[in-house]
Homo-oligomer: A and B are copies of this chain.
Amino acid sequence: MKIAILGFGTIGGGVEIILRKEPGITIKRIFSRHVPAAFSAYDSGLEEILQDEEIDTAVETLGGIEPAYSYICEVLRAGKNVVTANKAVVAAHYRELAALAEEKNVSFRFTAAVGGGIPWLPNLERLKRADTVDSVGGIMNATCNLILSRMIRNGQRFDEVLEAAQEEGYAERDPSADIDGLDARRKLVISANTAFDCVLPEEAVPVFGIRHIRPEDLAAAAAEGKTVRLINRAFREEDGRIRILTAPAFIPCAEPEADVWETGNRICCHTRLGGTYSFGGQGAGRFPTALSVVQDLHDISQKKAVFYQQGFAPAEPDNHDWATRWYIRDAFGSRITDWADTALITQQLTERLQAKEAVFAAVAEEKKL
């Protein structure tokens, strides 16, 4: 198997290092703005890659929607398989890309896009083969989990922790996609689409980030015997409706998700016959993520895998009677309940879904509620 790599940064470079030990998979060309001198012999334009008949697969690790989307389309149109770690492009365009790949009879895989090194999507795909998945969720953003972990353990403020995380390379210079929950939401949408064989419009899924969380919010959770994590949840109800939300939530300290710290991720699903499954591991990082890319290459070379989904039924989120208590901080700092100095927690807002209450007592951004 001969491949090309589009984008030679942290992940693309990690793929190269791992493939040095894989005699069956050879890198022939690299297309990147900055190809290191040691790899100048591989430096290629996109057009050369498209026209190189020896290359059957391209690995895309550019990130972002454009130009990645256009490049992926061109590679698929040239009759080559694509493996990507790019959650933005998959959340926005999987349906079109899968249709194009099907037309060209090639594979389009993106295990690394959700959960980094966690073998989540291949396992979800496998569970679906013999059972019906009725919910997916978990902790899917390493940056947010790291920031919350440090705020909780060190008692630091959000800004301080974010700044340190940026200096250490755990958070981007523009951290919005992570801390506003958009990255987690993309992974949730991809997971829900795969689990339920549907297409949810990303921007219709409600999202609350962690930008506004203060130490007193964490203290309020602790006073209830709970901790705070950025939680993803999607349920397919018996009537077919999809409830879906990305939000920071109060979770009981005895719940498995409360035990995910630092850059750890844990993704869960529930199936009709098999019950609850969980998959934990490194949700980010060079080698864990690059390993997921390499696993997709193996699956393609062994002709094991084509797509994750069987169907693409359009769907809309429907959370209208999702019952939960909401944590709402008083923006004015006045005493508004006898429960805490600066916040209140509502009664649950409807009667339904009491079992989900504990998980969804979300820390909401004050502007949005």
Contact = CB atoms under 8 A, between A and B. Distances in A.
A274 B298 contact: no
Contact of A259 (B259, B275, B304): B259
Nearest to A289: B274
A1 to B, nearest CB: 13
A196 B322 CA distance: 48
B22 A130 contact: yes
A337 interface: no
A29 B295 CA distance: 38
Contacts of A254: 259
Interface stretch (A96-104, A115-123, A324-332): A115-123
Contacts of A117: 274-275, 277
A182 to B, nearest CB: 25
A131 interface: yes
B130 A294 contact: yes
B275 A282 contact: yes
A256 B288 CA distance: 20
B281 A274 contact: yes
A113 B127 CA distance: 17
A131 B288 CA distance: 10
A158 interface: no
Nearest to A279: B279
| Complex copy number for this chain | 2
A291 B273 CA distance: 8
A112 to B, nearest CB: 12
A289 to B, nearest CB: 9
A155 interface: no
Q: Secondary structure of the A side of the interface?
A: mixed
Contacts of A291: 130-131, 273-274
Contacts of A122: 126
A254 to B, nearest CB: 7
Given A274-B288, A287-B274, A298 B129 contact: yes
A278 interface: yes
Given A122-B126, A129-B298, A281 B276 contact: yes
A285 interface: yes
A280 interface: yes
A281 to B, nearest CB: 4
A18 interface: yes
Interface in A208-237: none
Contacts of A256: 256, 259, 280
Contacts of A287: 273-275
Given A126-B119, A126-B295, A130-B18, A277 B275 contact: no
Interface centre among A22, A274, A285, A295 (most CB of B within 10 A): A274
Interface of A: 18, 22, 117-119, 122-123, 126-127, 129-131, 254-256, 259, 266, 273-282, 285, 287-288, 291, 294-295, 298, 304
Given A273-B288, A274-B288, 18 more contacts: A18-B273, A117-B275, A119-B127, A119-B277, A122-B126, A129-B295, A130-B291, A130-B294, A131-B291, A256-B259, A256-B280, A273-B287, A273-B291, A274-B291, A277-B279, A277-B281, A278-B279, A280-B280
